[in-house]
A and B are shown apart, each in its own frame.
Chain A
């Protein structure tokens, strides 16, 4: 045990003395959280809006005026024909279109009036948010209108996101960043740390010592395990108190979920370290095999439901997809363990598989 602790101490020294790594480890999560949060939430003001109201009447005019006066919206264009609707998003200026019925006021009197909100789904996160705001404005108008007039018209509002039919919640980025950071820190850093020993020749020295190989690997993972816990707490606190993202679910469940995922990432790191001989290769493999699929296919940036079927299949082997989905449910929706049972079992299964493969590979390598 003493030997083991000495070795863990040494691992901490390696990390603490490497200023660049330290900076990356602790600055990157915050920088990424900030970047993602602003990418998602900064452009709430001045949503460029177009209007299509074929039979303009008093009621639709009132609603359009409501939008003109609203600080979040600026009505930039009036669309004259349905064919123009098809190209309205093309130049990128307009983000949202309000489409009114023909005979809007008449229909309203018969409770059949409809407003359709069209948004540009290529920016899914913002689009969903814009649509929510627009709906809010319309609903606000209707409820005020109802209040004045008992025989009020009923207007139904429908939202359509073009190019991306499913909307996304605005709090996606925090679970996403946690999913990415935990994976990178544990898989990338631990694989690089193990490969570095091989590259330097110290691994042979260690293997020739009485320290059992499994202890060497275990000792390597301890510091990253503790750093990950700090980083998770850091991101959660930052998200909660600086960005105002709610943390609805049980903290215990959240922590357990993160620990399972950290364990998975560490296993992945050990597996990578058995496959490559140089730190550069370890970096590249982690980058290519972990970072890019995680960013693109985990649902962190792009919603999985709107991907082509083949990418959806591929995404199901990306561990972060399951972790981020579960984390969202627990964090944002406050889900309990029964609701994330599927994700949890996938993660546990993946971990067992990767760990078994890693330990097997590692033992083989030692023997040769």
Chain B
């Protein structure tokens, strides 16, 4: 196993003449909670999709869990978890069926699926809802389930794309407790977010502007460097330099 969970060197993605991600280089340690910030259109999602093996980089080099993003996309997919912006469980399947399905897709054995599922239900105190349709559950619970599902197969790295969008503060708090628990289990967490208070929870934070990474450090050092009281201050100073429009 590699020491680093993610290594990126001059990773670039171009769509025609538009450079969505421009020569980003960084490393993420194993077991780290790595915050990946940036305004809308800064290139976060594109970068993340390259790490997940969903999109082929134009140039540069990158390794995820020790596998090359150009040649070993299949291997990468086996060793990561992914939670997309949109809520992504099947509403018309029960909680159990959702977990059984994804457990099966990731090659878990039936008894493994059963014991891990019971485990998860205990932790989320969801045992009585195990066989209800996901569609009938409140959004907060669905969101937690989606996270539980993304780490169900115990991946080395989990990628979370704005996981707490549209969720109330209490659920957000609980969500981050789950993230910490996952990190303690040795899962590297790579998370994008819009909430600057959440950035404070990360071990290290990178801030993307116009496809480049303009800052990368611990929240504490970033605040000192930019002489800001909180991460919002840091973010605003950097985001103001952006040339791209909001929706580019």
Contacts and interface: CB of A to CB of B under 8 A. Distances in A.
B86 to A, nearest CB: 3
B106 to A, nearest CB: 7
Contacts of A147: none
A208 B82 contact: yes
Given A13-B97, A201-B84, A208 B90 contact: no
A71 interface: no
A202 to B, nearest CB: 5
A10 B77 CA distance: 21
A211 B107 CA distance: 10
A368 B46 CA distance: 9
A347 B185 CA distance: 56
A208 B104 contact: no
Contact of B90 (A202, A204, A212, A366): A202
Contacts of B92: 13-14, 17-18
Contacts, number: 74
Given A13-B97, A201-B85, A368 B55 contact: yes
Interface string A345-368: 000000000000000000000111
B74 A210 contact: yes
Contacts of B176: none
In this complex, which of B88, B92, B105 has the most chain A Cβ atoms within 10 angstroms of its Cβ? B105
Contacts of B83: 205
Contact of B107 (A7, A17, A207, A210): A210
A226 interface: no
A367 B58 CA distance: 11
A3 B97 contact: no
A200 interface: yes
Interface string B92-115: 110001001110111100000000
Contact of A13 (B52, B54, B82, B93): B93
Interface in A1-28: 2-3, 6-7, 10, 13-14, 17-18
Contact of B104 (A2, A200, A206, A368): A2
Contact of A10 (B85, B88, B97): B97
Given A10-B93, A208-B82, A210-B78, A201 B87 contact: yes
A211 B105 contact: yes
Main secondary structure of the interface of A (DSSP, over half): helix
B80 interface: yes
B53 interface: yes
Contacts of B86: 200-201, 204
B157 to A, nearest CB: 12
A209 B92 CA distance: 20
A364 to B, nearest CB: 11
In this complex, which of B78, B87, B104 has the most chain A Cβ atoms within 10 angstroms of its Cβ? B104
Interface string A115-139: 0000000000000000000000000
Given A3-B107, A10-B90, A208 B55 contact: no
Contacts of A209: 77, 82, 102, 105-106
Interface string B62-84: 00000000000010011010111
Contacts of B100: 6
Main secondary structure of the interface of B (DSSP, over half): loop
Nearest to B81: A208
A2 B54 CA distance: 23
Contacts of A211: 105
Contacts of B89: 202
A208 B80 contact: yes
Interface string A194-236: 0000001110111111111000000000000000000000000
Nearest to A212: B74
A206 B78 CA distance: 12
B23 to A, nearest CB: 20
Interface string A335-348: 00000000000000
Contacts of B15: 368
Contacts of A14: 90, 92-93
A282 B86 CA distance: 20
B28 to A, nearest CB: 18
B56 interface: yes
Contact of A210 (B93, B101, B105): B105
A18 B92 CA distance: 8
A175 to B, nearest CB: 35
The 7 closest A-B pairs by CB, nearest first: A201-B86, A6-B104, A208-B82, A201-B88, A204-B84, A205-B88, A210-B77
23 contacts: A2-B107, A3-B105, A6-B100, A7-B101, A7-B105, A13-B93, A14-B93, A17-B92, A18-B92, A200-B87, A200-B91, A201-B87, A201-B88, A202-B89, A204-B84, A207-B54, A208-B80, A210-B77, A211-B105, A367-B55, A367-B56, A368-B15, A368-B55
Given A10-B93, A208-B53, 4 more contacts: A3-B104, A7-B101, A13-B93, A204-B86
